Chains A and B, each alone.
Chain A
Amino acid sequence: MSLLELRGMRTDIGQYAVLHGIDLAVPEGGTFVLLGRNGAGKTTTLRSIMGLWRPSPGSVHFRGTDISALATADIARRGIAYVPENMGIFGGLTVEENLILATARGRFDGARLKRIQALFPALERFWTKQAWSLSGGQKQMLSVARAIVEPRDLILIDEPTKGLAPAIVAAMAEAFREIAQETTILLVEQNFNFARSLGSNMAVIDDGRVVHRGTMADFAADKEAQGRLLGLSA
């Protein structure tokens, strides 16, 4: 059974139909990458899974249960974390406060926190600083750290490398590989090289529909499909 299954998911934003019936199955474990051009519907897919936009008709099944009618908070409590494209950090809160807010009982699991600080050493350095003062890369680290401060079954991550320096992107890839050891990541990404280094399974969305699905290894070898579906040159 898949960890997450989207069945005919259609989402309208105002009068515009953005998703036209997404069918997708995300297996448990590893990183599943969702690729696609700008405006294809990748972010809308993640937001619809989180209940931030309501799919109608269609459904979202998590561990076999339909969660599409649940409130966002209830979806999160089922073990799904979300790292939005704009990172969604709370700039007026300190790094520590941003993280502690995401804990279930208002206190850290010491061992887990140590692992997070080892993954993202900058966060410990700026522990008591307000988050708005962090650099773009540090904010992205904080956003990802917040998603894993408690054990999660699935983490939805939206374009984490956008606007980041290559060195930060490399560090982020390393962190994602480690995170994927204990949880499942559904990653939306436009940086194909970054996505290729992480994903085991993948799908391509275009114009609100899944137009390709398969293994990353096969897709990485298929230059023609990359050109046709993503506009990448050979």
Chain B
Amino acid sequence: MSGVMTRASETLGRFGGVNLLPLWIALAAFLLIGVPSSWVTLTVAGLAMGMMVFLMASGLSLVFGLMDVLNFGHSAFVSFGAFVAATVLAALGGWLDGGPLLASAALACALIAAIAFGLAAGLFFERVIIKPVYRDHLRQILITMGALIVSEQIILAVWGGTPVTVPRPAFLEGAWIIGDVSIEIYRLFAFGLGALVFLGLILLLNRTRIGLLIRAGVENREMVESLGFKIDRLFIGVFMLGSALAALGGAMWAGYETLITPALGGEMMIVVFIVVIIGGLGSIEGTLLGALIVGLTANYVGYLAPKLALASNMILMMAILMWRPSGLRPAVK
């Protein structure tokens, strides 16, 4: 088995390494699907889904890598982000129909509200729930799972159990038709926003002192402290950032689905964990890679073999972990 894996790695290395994996998956799908218009639609849908999942998962990966915290409650921020954004959009319903400028302002308010909520909730969550259980994985799992259940109940109490409709700005409705190819505008927007956040994170991590500290802390927290830096403050900052990104991802997902339920976070949790695990803990690049692969695979498999759609993510994770047990691009430890 290890010989097969080694040969697979060598072959992939000759074709650009793991970074080009989404491209090879897309090309393989092109050959299997055979209909270019369907392939383009599925690919755009897969990339958009991948970018939204990336938003949700990137914070979890950093929190996992830097703080060694197993936060099963991470998806609560996704749910809250979705519901807060939906509430703001509903409240500003008049703006949505008032031309592109007002509609853009409404959308910006909704996304900013989700981010602000994520930051505040992240601060509360880290100080009250996570801090007492640092270095104790079993208690982390129990308490964060409990927090996820409580969060779902809070959402039920505030927003009710019936699905909530999420209004979209008019300029994000509809699709661009190019020949016989149809590309949903919202998916392009989701992809563009995800790409912007990814670039922002890369700049933060590679061009700033805080980013340098986060990268160093992911590798060796003790040494960062020995150099004179208070790792606790870094933990809070990274946790808040991760929560805000998850809330933003939830808000974007709400606009994508247009109908959300309190179970949204729990449903996304499995996908988010799969992305973080196959991407490699603590690595933003790995998380993006994992998210794009998961997004593309889910859409292609859903089209080619609908019965396998539910299992496709699990099969993908098993295959990647057998090949690379630490994930595709783990942070150096």
Instruction: Spell out A's residues near B (CB within 8 Å).
Output: 50, 52, 71-73, 76-77, 81-82, 84, 88-93, 97, 100-102, 104, 106, 130, 132, 146
Contacts and interface: CB of A to CB of B under 8 A. Distances in A.
Contacts of B219: 90-93
B280 to A, nearest CB: 11
B212 A93 contact: yes
Given A73-B231, A88-B220, A93 B215 contact: yes
Contacts of A76: 225-228
A132 B228 contact: no
**A76, A81, A92, A97 interface centre (most CB from chain B within 10 Å):** A92
A72 B216 contact: no
A77 B227 CA distance: 8
A90 B220 contact: yes
Nearest to B229: A73
Nearest to B283: A92
Given A101-B212, A132-B332, A90 B225 contact: no
A71 B225 contact: yes
Contacts of B223: 84, 88-90
Contacts of B222: 52, 72, 88
A50 B226 CA distance: 7
Nearest to A156: B226
B109 interface: no
Give me the 6 closest cross-chain CB pairs, A-B, nearest first. A92-B332, A76-B228, A88-B223, A91-B332, A72-B225, A82-B226
Nearest to B223: A88
A73 B331 contact: no
B213 interface: yes
Contact of A90 (B215, B229, B230, B231): B215
Contacts of A77: 228
A21 to B, nearest CB: 25
Nearest to A51: B225
Contact of B331 (A88, A89, A92): A92
Given A71-B225, A73-B225, A91-B219, A100 B332 contact: no
Contacts, number: 60
B209 interface: yes
Contact of B226 (A88, A93, A106, A130): A88
A93 B224 CA distance: 13
Contacts of B220: 88, 90
29 contacts: A52-B222, A52-B225, A52-B226, A71-B230, A72-B222, A73-B228, A73-B230, A76-B226, A81-B226, A82-B226, A84-B223, A84-B226, A88-B222, A88-B223, A88-B226, A89-B223, A90-B215, A90-B219, A90-B223, A91-B219, A92-B215, A92-B218, A97-B212, A100-B212, A101-B224, A101-B227, A102-B227, A106-B209, A132-B332
Interface residues of B, number: 21
Contacts of A97: 212
A102 B216 CA distance: 11
Contacts of A93: 212, 215-216, 219
Interface string B219-250: 11011111111110000000000000000000
Interface in B287-333: 331-333
Nearest to A92: B332
Nearest to B330: A92
Contacts of B332: 90-92, 130, 132
Contacts of B212: 93, 97, 100-101
Interface string B66-108: 0000000000000000000000000000000000000000000
A149 to B, nearest CB: 10
Nearest to A71: B230
B273 to A, nearest CB: 23
Nearest to A97: B212
Given A81-B226, A92-B215, A101-B227, 4 more contacts: A71-B230, A88-B226, A90-B215, A90-B223
Nearest to B231: A73
A73 B209 CA distance: 17
A132 B216 CA distance: 13
Interface in B178-225: 209, 212-213, 215-216, 218-220, 222-225
A91 B282 CA distance: 14
Contacts of A50: 226
B195 to A, nearest CB: 23
A152 B222 CA distance: 19
